[in-house]
Amino acid sequence: MQKYHFRPYSPNQMVLFPQRIDKDIAEEDPVRLVSGIVESLDLSSFRKLYKERGRSPYDPKMLLKVIIYAYMNNIYSCRKIERSLKRDVHFIWLAGYEQPDFITINRFRNRVKHEINNVFTQLVLLLNAKGLVTLDVEYIDGTKIESKANKYTFVWRKTVEKNRAKLLEKIRVLLSQVDDAIAQDKAEEEAVSFTPETLTEIATELRDALAEQPASKSKEGKKALRKKQKQVRHLEEMADKLSEYNSHLETLGERNSYSKTDKEATFMRMKEDAMNNGQTKPGYNLQTGTENQFITDFGFFPNPTDTLTMIPFLSSFSMRYDRQPKEVCADAGYGSEENYAYMEANGTEAYVKYNYFHKEQKRAFKNDIFRIENLYYNQDEDYFVCPMGQHMTRAGTRHDKTGSGYRTESAVYREQRCEGCPLRWGCYKKKRGDREIEVNHRLMEYKRKARERLTSERGQEHRSRRPTEPEAVFGQMKYNMQYKRFRHFGKDKVTMDFAFFAIAFDIKKMAAKRREMPNKQHRNDILEPIYRIDAAKCRRISITGRLFTKIAA
């Protein structure tokens, strides 16, 4: 009979694991990169978040390492992180066999929600010191991410304003029906608009006046008293309703909608439309700046479109790194006069498309003699020449204002006589009157400069790289790392959560870049901590009252 010899198996032995837990962790495993980077960061600002007395808390470095590594592995739930700390050898080694529960992990995230943004900044400066990013070029794009808020708890500005106007009319009618000198005097004082405080004051005075009246014994007197009491109750209800409408308008600010369960989320149309019916959902417009597929900056905005987000986003880049990027590349959603003017004033090369940029390159557009872009313009005498050769002289100037308050100026040119023109069929669609055009000369000049940059050799390089920069980051974020919906309420917590994600994303990209390096020495250079850099090349700057190390240019 043949005998089989197996290795000894005893799961309850005294020493089941090796003396060093990291014995089974590869030297180039990303978990070691996470540990090394966090150890090199300046987390002194975390200390002020803890009290000197009481029970000793967990080391913030340990919790930061665990959360970052969890986000790198698509684990965003605190309960799942707690479970991994008991099952995964990588988490066990990273935590030093500490086992904080999910409440402690979540409290730590909320505690450092204002500090984690500076940790992200330090990481990007580390990438800059390693030569992985230059911070000279920024590829900007936006994507919408759904909020945790209930998608049926919406408040729309137009509905609130319409109902508020109806309510004010009802209040005026009610006060005109109240047969009392107090109400009439208050109505005359508040002839333009009423406030909830005024209505409450009127209702209180009316109620006090009714209480002072002697009790009537007749049936008609009692009926009149009940009618006045009912009017007072209605007035109090209207005061509460007016206060609610005013609160809605105050929360809305410049927005057109918000969610009752997440008042900082705005209803937007998402690309991920499962019902394919164009339903709006509460969410945030995430703007990111990338370079070499590393996230270098991010911000959240309530704007459904990208045009008005560019200037505040570039301002945040300047605040974060104390400099402006030398080159900015973005799609046509950012091509406005206001954005071009801002970048030119700050010395930034704008490789930013505008509407009709691609259409202008086509032969049909260039051969269309009726388009304003193809009309001859005499700059000295300030007139356009129509396809029939007539002069379109300047008839006036029109001013407009953008949503951010930027004032634009357009020149109005009018044809002298279009009646009987044989080319009217393609030049002017109206049956009566002469053709009139509006031309924004400053915007036309900005477009000309942008066209020259975009069609240059450097511009073509940026245009070819742009689809593989922010678009690739969004693809990895939403589909590879399954980060499609926020798990927190409020912009501050949403920003905190994405800051953790951005840190994890960049470290994960660092690990991927490190694996691609053929030279082992170069791979080891990535692991060198930031404090080995010459101290003379570093300086301290303040961002929103917080200090961090910045690599001098």
530 vs 129: CA distance, rounded Å: 8
Q: Which residue in 90, 532, 55 sits closest to 81, CA to CA? A: 90
Residue type at 438? Answer: E
Specify whether the CB–CB gap between 108 and 67 falls below 8 A: yes
pLDDT over 90, % of the chain: 37
In the predicted structure, residue 45 carries a pLDDT above the cut 70? yes
How many other C-beta atoms lie within 10 A of the C-beta of residue 119?
23
- Residues found in the chain: 553
289 vs 330: CA distance, rounded Å: 10
State the average pLDDT over residues 179-198: 61
Bridging pattern class, strands 376-378 and 383-385: antiparallel
pTM: 0.83
Quote the pLDDT of residue 315. Answer: 92
In the predicted structure, residue 342 carries a pLDDT above the cut 90? yes
Q: Of the ranges 315-324, 406-415, 486-495, 522-531, which one carries the lowest mean pLDDT score?
A: 522-531
Quote the pLDDT of residue 72. Answer: 94
147 vs 392: CA distance, rounded Å: 52
Q: Of the ranges 10-14, 216-220, 399-403, which one carries the lowest mean pLDDT score?
A: 10-14
pLDDT digits (tens, 9 = 90+) for 449-507: 999 999 999 999 999 999 889 999 999 999 999 999 998 898 999 999 999 999 999 99
β-bridge partners, 285: 144, 301
498 vs 300: CA distance, rounded Å: 10
State the average pLDDT over residues 299-321: 91
Bridging pattern class, strands 391-401 and 407-415: antiparallel
In the predicted structure, residue 536 carries a pLDDT above the cut 70? no
348 vs 324: CA distance, rounded Å: 7
Q: Of the ranges 3-12, 43-52, 136-145, which one carries the lowest mean pLDDT score?
A: 3-12
87 vs 99: CA distance, rounded Å: 11
Q: Compare 531 and 113 and report the one with higher pLDDT.
A: 113
Q: 3-state DSSP call for residue 293? A: coil
In the predicted structure, residue 534 carries a pLDDT above the cut 50? no
Domain boundaries in the chain?
A: 23-137+490-551, 155-259
pLDDT digits (tens, 9 = 90+) for 114-145: 999 999 999 999 999 888 999 999 999 999 99
Burial 387-412 (b: 16+ CB within 10 A, else e): beebebeeeeeeeeeeeeebeeebbe
Element (H, E) at 286: strand 280-291
10 vs 16: CA distance, rounded Å: 9
156 vs 161: CA distance, rounded Å: 9
174 vs 231: CA distance, rounded Å: 7
410: tokens are 């357009």
212: tokens are 């002072």
Q: Of the ranges 254-263, 315-324, 431-440, which one carries the lowest mean pLDDT score?
A: 431-440
Q: Which residue in 69, 5, 71 sits closest to 35, CA to CA? A: 69
